[in-house]
Structure formats: structure tokens, C-alpha cells
Structure 1
Amino acid sequence: MTTRTRFTVGELVHHTRFDYRGVIIDVDPVYAGSDEWYENVARSRPPKDQPWYHVLVDGHTHSTYVAERHLEPDIRGEQIEHPTLGQFFDRFLNGRYVRQNDPGAH
């Protein structure tokens, strides 16, 4: 069985519980963190058998690990501010971040 992900790398998202914007830098089809982290941080106990996302947080220096159920598409469509953005993406095009080697980046 293949898990379908709602979001892809480079897509802007909004966290529905903590009201922040960000960009997805990696996708795990199922939870890939430690049991200890899940017990201490994932207080709402989101499902481990659904997608989780690594997200650079707009206006901050950290990234987060977020269950799909807490994310929605970002409707502002504006670029984010993050010091490591350039390590992951080359440019902002049509409302999403892309890498040079991305087939959709032309």
C-alpha cells in the first residue's frame, strides 16, 4: 500500500494549530521520528501511519516536523523568510519554491 501525500517539497503551508507559515523541505510517508520525541512533543497524538513533513518556519531560524493533519495550503502565496532557504531552493516561482534540477522549474 502506498501512502499518498497531500503536499510536496517546495509547497507553502499553514499550520492550523500553531498558526505559522512555512515551506516543506522533506516528506516522510509515515512518521520517522523517535518514540521519545513523539511522546514528548506530539501532544495531540497525530497518526504515525500518515505523512509527516519537515517545514522551515517563516520568520524563524528553526524547522519543525509536522503531521499532515495539522497542515493546510498557505493561501497568502508570499515568500517566506528563513536563513537556510537557499540550502534547499534556488528560486520562488508561481507560488512555490523550486530547485534548479526540478523538472517543473523552467
Structure 2
Amino acid sequence: MLTSQAKYAIGQVVRHRNHPFRGVIFDVDPVFASTEEWYAAIPEARRPRKDQPFYHLLAENERDYYVAYVSEQNLVRDEAAGPVGHPDVADLFGPFDGRSYRLGSALN
């Protein structure tokens, strides 16, 4: 059962609460929608609830760019709010407006 509406929106820049990465949201699942294998790989004491929104991010850390799947409870707004350097950002979004990205014109 869904416990709340999604707190974050597509195009918003967020940070992981516990790990050193940030990213831009490009999709939202209202509840957990990945595989049980993915879920089981998370240490049991740190597994997020499945009944909350999960976000797909074009993510970056100091060394890499990748796609991340993160529960809402593990995200916070990125107060620095600078642009995300992930190379796929330009494929999905228009320019960064200082707080978030808008979907690119081909996707509207």
C-alpha cells in the first residue's frame, strides 16, 4: 500500500542520505518495482520499506556516473543544487535552471 505521494519530482537534483552521491531524478515508481534479487542484496538492517516511492537517478560521485535506484527515505534535497555532470542528462533534460531540470522538448 502506498503511504504517501512522491516527495521529489522528475528533474529535481537530490543527494543520498548516507552515501556520497547525488543525481537528477528521471523516473519515479510509486512503490518498489525492482527485483527481489536487488532487494535481497541490501543488508537486512538497512533495507528500505517497499511501500514508498523509489526514484531512478542519473547519479554521480567523485569518480563515476551511473544509474541509481533509491528509496525516498534515503534521499534529501541537494542544497548545493548545482548541475549534474552525468553524460546522459542532456539526452533527457533541457538546461539546468539553478534548482532543477525540465524534460527536454523531445520528451514533453
The alpha-carbon deviation at position 58 of structure 1 amounts to 2.5
Match of 2:87 among 83, 86, 94: 83
- 1:55 counterpart residue number: 57
Runs of 4+ residues deviating >3 angstroms: none
- 1:7 counterpart residue number: 8
Distance (Å, rounded) in 2 between the aligned partners of 1:77 and 1:95: 6
In structure 1, runs of 5+ residues without a counterpart are: 102-106
Distance (Å, rounded) in 1 between the aligned partners of 2:96 and 2:85: 12
In structure 2, runs of 5+ residues without a counterpart are: none
- 2:77 counterpart residue number: 73
- 1:104 counterpart residue number: none
Taking CA–CA contacts closer than 8 Å with sequence separation of 6 or more, which of the two structures ends up with the larger relative contact order?
Answer: 2
Letter of the aligned partner of 1:58 in structure 2? E
Q: 1:81 to 1:20 in 2, by over 3 A?
A: same
Letter of the aligned partner of 1:86 in structure 2? A
The alpha-carbon deviation at position 56 of structure 1 amounts to 1.0
Q: TM-score normalized by structure 2?
A: 0.84
| Deviation per residue, 1:28-83 (Å, 9 max, x gap) | 0000001111101x321100010000011135321100010000000001101011
The alpha-carbon deviation at position 25 of structure 1 amounts to 0.7
Distance (Å, rounded) in 2 between the aligned partners of 1:62 and 1:80: 12
Letter of the aligned partner of 1:5 in structure 2? A
- Give secondary structure in 2 for the equivalent of 1:90: strand
Q: TM-score normalized by structure 1?
A: 0.86
Q: 1:100 to 1:56 in 2, by over 3 A?
A: closer
Q: Percent identity?
A: 36
Q: Give aligned pairs, total.
A: 100
Further displaced range: 17-26 or 92-101? 92-101
